[in-house]
Amino acid sequence: MSKNLVIVESPAKAKTIQKYLGKDFEVKSSFGHIRDLPKKGMGIDLATFSPDYEVSADKKKLVTELKAAVKKAEMVWLASDEDREGEAIAWHLADELKLKPENRKRIVFHEITKNAILKAIENPRDIDQNLVNAQQARRVLDRIVGFEMSPVLWKKVKPGLSAGRVQSVAVRLIVEREKEIREFTPKASFKLDGIFLNNNEQEIAAKLKKDFEKEEQAEKFLEQAKTTEFKVLNVETKPGTRSASAPFTTSTLQQEASSRLGYNVTNTMRLAQRLYEEGFITYMRTDSVNLSQEAIEGAKKQIISEYGAEYSSPRNYTTKSASAQEAHEAIRPTDFGVKSIGDAQLNKLYQLIYRRTLASQMSNAKIEKTVIEIGNASLPHHFEAQGEVIIFDGFLKAYGIVKTEDEDEENNEKLLPKVKVGEVLSYKTITATEKFTRPSARYTEAGLVRKLEELGIGRPSTYAPTIQTIQNREYVDKREIEPQTRQVIKMSLVKDSIKKVVLDEKFGGDKNKFIPTDIGEVVNDFLTDNFKEILDYGFTARVEEGFDEIANGDQKWKEMMTDFYSKFHPRIEDVEENADRATGDRLLGVDPKTGKNVHARIGRFGAMIQIGETDDEEKPIFASLMSGQNIATITFEEAIELFKLPFDLNEFEGHPVSVGVGRFGPYVKWGETFISIPKGEDPLSINQNRAEEIINEKKKADAPIATYKGDPVTKGTGRFGPFIKYKDLFINVPKKYNFDNLSQSDINELIDAKLEKEANRYIQQWEKEKISIENGRWGPFIKFGKAMFKIPKKSDDTKYDGEELKDISLDEVKKWITDQDKNAFAEKKKPAAKKATTAKKTTAAKKPAAKKK
């Protein structure tokens, strides 16, 4: 056994590091955190703010293996990442593995190269408790906020919701932007563009320096232009420069990968993690734009050899953010000699990082900007043409220019022909087009990251999980918004005559941008009304500053918790006791048929329209909203239309046909089969012919592709990817198979493997009671309905094996379930009792649970 045990947090990292260390070192992975706060319950003593950490069930076997390895090693090297999370992983390992200070060393490195690893071994340190405490403070504070605010949402909005310090602020940004867009009133104006010709018939595109508010003003100008002799009034040429951007931080990498490669934040971080662990780039979670002297020299050498000395301009950048965490380096290649790597997907991101770092060390681009003024003294306003020439490309040679999502596409500056002052120009066309102002754009993932960073909310490592969480919770989504149509006026002056046309213009459409859901808006409004401070951008940023102070040793983390909780908890109690329920209720009008109120609101299953009141003698009736509809914007007329659904059509092939809308959108129901109506198609427009077309398309898609032992096999694509279906079994099809061209042997292989797995799944099964003992990934377990329970140890403290579990009686299994959940079987009787219970009794039954909490 090796004298030295090195523990890192990922197997890929372990594999790379093992290559650089000799026989005396063994490298093992902890697979991230080995322990954390418990998944159930708060897990924090709120009197002392002491966390109750536990080793998660899936890590117990690993911890046992690590303890055995520790016993055989003379020295343990804790080599987790160099940020706060990595420091906390090292601290948990040291504590759980009972490592003494004299038998452990903490090493850090921001790149996985041989030099960096050996240098780290030569310069060990101990665990930095300040960094650990900063991570604990974040974890504990976020747990308290989530665990105390979420039950308030269950009680006041809808069961199953969650709140979080950073996620709720991110949702607020998206909701506020959406409200801003809704309230925006577009203003029209007329913009004039001209195309002029010089003596050589070369075109010069120019814009009038003045916009007109009214159609008459624009038309009057065109009338004046008819008889005007246009001249070059002025030509101005200015030298200018463009400089490269700083090397990547986590945030700028996420933004640029989104703009240039179309990667989402989660995908970018996953690929960057792999590049880091395989030794290609430096650590990918950083706020710093700083480069080491070694990196600057390496870039200089590569630039001179590839482009020439005139392209080299070594420089260092300083981080503007006062809260930049620890002394990290920017994200850069570890070796500038490696220009590309084998894996195509990894290579795309690597190339982006490689070229950005190289460009940051290159000379400025030199440009020459030309502005030509065109007009006549008789005209009240003149045209202006702008263009530029790149004299020396500098850093653009490596990186090029990328536009941000805020830049106007119309501002493309072109190369202009040579003209001189006084030269007469003729116009080819002068066009006046009605243009409308646009609201602020919805957030893309990159835009949201940029805004969070700008406000000082969260840290590089939190952006990806935060964005994923708010989508998983269905507070926001990226559904496509269909554009609307409006009419615009366009007037063209060509050959001394003005032609006027009215055109249709699409506007307001969007895709792949964040849009709040109905529940997201209701939750946001409730939280901003009742927890102003927690949802305040400034407060969230100040909390981050507090974590920084803890990391620097300037504040004690439990004092920060005490101060926060003393203000936060009384607010929770007050809101729980006194706040009104939130449903986002909008009164749309009165139903002409019944004379009852029509409401748009959040119900138990989401957004809905309700006719009537809940306390009326006659129960209210409900209709689900369709995709793209929203309780904040739906009109009375649109709401009433929804009650036309579902409607019946004629039978088809002996089965009834109807059209409706459900939780997953509009559908055609044929017998017992629900078939989704294609995106963007109005369900109210579906007639018998169209319904039959949709059914036939479904039949074609569901037609068997093969048989297995005489039974049909079909295929489809679901939530978890492509699958084949045999009887009641859904079998995922891995990427190694050609899904579009599955052979009979492929199908046999997939089904055989699934049947074998299913055969080994059950040790014992009691179908009537919905109880089974099953083989799981981490060993046998009990399943009761959808709930899972542990199998206790035997009286001699050893585990049951599979053979012994085959002889366990149903009564014994029920006892094991009851030991873990006293109400497991009592709860099953509730539905029957509920039928006879009045509304009043149900309410009373709920009260003790609320008091208990």
| Sheet of strand 762-766: strand arrangement | 762-766, 771-776, 779-784, 787-789
Question: Is 805 within 8 Å of 791 (Cβ atoms)?
Answer: yes
Q: What percent of the chain has pLDDT over 90?
A: 51
Question: Of 211-225, 307-321, 481-495, where does mean pLDDT reach its minimum?
Answer: 307-321
CB within 8 Å of 22: residues ≥ 6 apart: none
Q: What is the rounded average pLDDT of the residues 69-83?
A: 90
How crowded is the C-beta side of 594, counted as CA atoms within 13 Å?
Answer: 16
C-alpha–C-alpha distance, residues 134 and 130, integer Å: 6
Categorize the per-residue pLDDT at 409 as very low, low, confident or very high, splitting at 50, 70 and 90: very low
Going by C-alpha positions, the residue among 715, 694, 695 that lies closest to residue 704 is 715
Report the helix count and the strand count for the chain, using DSSP H and E. Answer: 24, 34
Q: What is the pLDDT of residue 832?
A: 42
C-alpha–C-alpha distance, residues 592 and 326, integer Å: 66
Categorize the per-residue pLDDT at 549 as very low, low, confident or very high, splitting at 50, 70 and 90: very high
Q: List pLDDT tens digits, range 53-63.
A: 998 888 888 99
- Checking if the pLDDT of 282 tops 50, the result is yes
Question: Is 366 within 8 Å of 391 (Cβ atoms)?
Answer: yes
Q: What is the pLDDT of residue 402?
A: 55
Q: What's the longest Cα–Cα distance across the chain? A: 107
424 or 627, which is more confident? 424
Q: Is 434 helix (H, G, I), strand (E, B) or coil?
A: strand
Q: What is the rounded average pLDDT of the residues 781-807?
A: 87
Q: What is the pLDDT of residue 851?
A: 39
C-alpha–C-alpha distance, residues 31 and 9, integer Å: 5
Going by C-alpha positions, the residue among 475, 593, 598 that lies closest to residue 526 is 475
315 or 827, which is more confident? 315
Q: List pLDDT tens digits, range 349-375.
A: 999 999 999 999 999 999 999 999 999
Q: What is the rounded average pLDDT of the residues 758-785?
A: 87
CB within 8 Å of 243: residues ≥ 6 apart: 364, 365, 395
Q: What is the pLDDT of residue 321?
A: 54
C-alpha–C-alpha distance, residues 587 and 633, integer Å: 12
C-alpha–C-alpha distance, residues 643 and 491, integer Å: 45
DSSP 279-336: TSBB-S--------HHHHHHHHHHHHHHT-GGGB---------TT--TT---B-BS-T
For residues 355, 358, 362 and 367, what is the CA-based torsion angle, rounded to 10 degrees?
Answer: 10
Q: Determine the angle formed by the axes of helices 11-20 and 114-122, rounding to 10 degrees.
A: 80
Categorize the per-residue pLDDT at 662 as very low, low, confident or very high, splitting at 50, 70 and 90: confident
C-alpha–C-alpha distance, residues 181 and 58, integer Å: 46
Q: What is the pLDDT of residue 848?
A: 40
Question: Is 438 within 8 Å of 186 (Cβ atoms)?
Answer: yes
Question: Is 277 within 8 Å of 81 (Cβ atoms)?
Answer: no
Q: What is the pLDDT of residue 519?
A: 93
Q: What is the pLDDT of residue 827?
A: 54
Percent helix, percent strand, percent coil in the chain, to nearest 5: 40, 25, 35
pTM of the shown model = 0.76
The one catalytic residue in 263, 283, 350, 708 is 283
- Checking if the pLDDT of 546 tops 60, the result is yes
Q: List pLDDT tens digits, range 578-602.
A: 998 888 899 999 999 889 999 999 8
C-alpha–C-alpha distance, residues 503 and 487, integer Å: 6
Question: Is 452 within 8 Å of 323 (Cβ atoms)?
Answer: no
C-alpha–C-alpha distance, residues 302 and 312, integer Å: 9
Peptide bond into 239 cis (omega under 30): no
Phi, psi of 652 (to 5 degrees): -135, 120
Question: What is the pLDDT of the chain when averaged over all its residues?
Answer: 87
Going by C-alpha positions, the residue among 516, 528, 478, 515 that lies closest to residue 163 is 528
- Checking if the pLDDT of 659 tops 80, the result is yes
- Whether 283 sits among the annotated catalytic residues: the reply is yes
- Checking if the pLDDT of 410 tops 80, the result is no
Q: What is the rounded average pLDDT of the residues 8-13?
A: 84
How crowded is the C-beta side of 159, counted as CA atoms within 13 Å?
Answer: 2
Give the position of tokens 């090693």. 73
Beta 606-611 vs 621-624: how paired, if at all? antiparallel
Categorize the per-residue pLDDT at 853 as very low, low, confident or very high, splitting at 50, 70 and 90: very low
The structure tokens listed for 298 are 């390496």
Q: What is the pLDDT of residue 320?
A: 60
Phi, psi of 699 (to 5 degrees): -60, -40
C-alpha–C-alpha distance, residues 254 and 266, integer Å: 9
Computed from CA positions of residues 225, 226, 228, 232, in that sequence, does the dihedral angle turn out positive or negative? positive
C-alpha–C-alpha distance, residues 371 and 207, integer Å: 11
Q: List pLDDT tens digits, range 109-147.
A: 888 888 888 888 999 999 999 999 999 999 999 999 999
For residue 251, the tally of other CB atoms under 10 A from its CB is: 22
Question: Is 211 within 8 Å of 219 (Cβ atoms)?
Answer: no
- Checking if the pLDDT of 843 tops 50, the result is no
- Checking if the pLDDT of 325 tops 50, the result is no
C-alpha–C-alpha distance, residues 627 and 637, integer Å: 16
How crowded is the C-beta side of 2, counted as CA atoms within 13 Å?
Answer: 17
Q: What is the pLDDT of residue 583?
A: 87
For residue 694, the tally of other CB atoms under 10 A from its CB is: 21
Domain ranges of the chain: 4-127, 188-237+367-438+479-507, 250-363, 586-644, 647-702, 706-760, 762-820
Q: What is the rounded average pLDDT of the residues 718-733?
A: 86
595 or 843, which is more confident? 595
Q: What is the pLDDT of residue 322?
A: 47
C-alpha–C-alpha distance, residues 382 and 385, integer Å: 10
Q: List pLDDT tens digits, range 671-694.
A: 988 998 887 788 888 999 999 999
The H or E element that residue 270 is part of is helix 265-277
